[in-house]
Structure formats: structure tokens, C-alpha cells
Amino acid sequence: MTNLDKNVEEEILAIVEKYQKEDTKLLNYLITDDMITFFSPIANGSEITASDLAKVADILNGSFEGMEIVNQEYRFKFKCGL
């Protein structure tokens, strides 16, 4: 399994952590080919704004591809250029 660089993870977490409850500051994701999907349980916070999704896309040198709700979690998909 591939992981993001720790510095990239920290930059992304700094953006998305404000949407999570204080005790659940996590960055859960899955990388497949050139796609990265971030998972955020609905119960742990709120949906991320479009401007913050654009910031995450910039960090990944990619683009935001969409969001869906599956099994009580938000799934944010990005095409990655890293």
C-alpha cells in the first residue's frame, strides 16, 4: 500500500481537521493508481467546503473529482499529480 509523504499528510490534515470532532483528528485515505479517496465518517464531523477541497487538490497537484456518501461516511475523490 502506498502512503502520502508525511509533510503532505500534515498539510492536508491542517485543512480538514477543522471539520472533525476534536478527538478524531484523522486522515484516512486510499491511493489507487492516480486517484486518492479520503474517508470521513459523517458522525465525526461535517462536509468540507469547496474552497478547502480546492486547497487539498492544489497540495496534491491534482483536481477534485467528486464526493459521495457511502456507508455513513463522506468519500472525497481527487485525481493526483504527485
Range of the domain at 52: 6-79
Judge whether 52 lies within some domain: yes
Q: pLDDT tens digits for 26-57?
A: 788 999 888 999 988 887 666 788 999 999 99
Judge whether 1 lies within some domain: no
pTM: 0.84
Does residue 71 come out as left (phi exceeding 0), alpha (psi in the -120 to 50 range) or beta? left
Judge whether 46 lies within some domain: yes
Q: Which of 17, 15, 27, 26 shows the shortest CA–CA distance to 56?
A: 15
Judge whether 68 lies within some domain: yes
Judge whether 57 lies within some domain: yes
Q: Domain tally for the chain?
A: 1
Judge whether 40 lies within some domain: yes
Judge whether 72 lies within some domain: yes
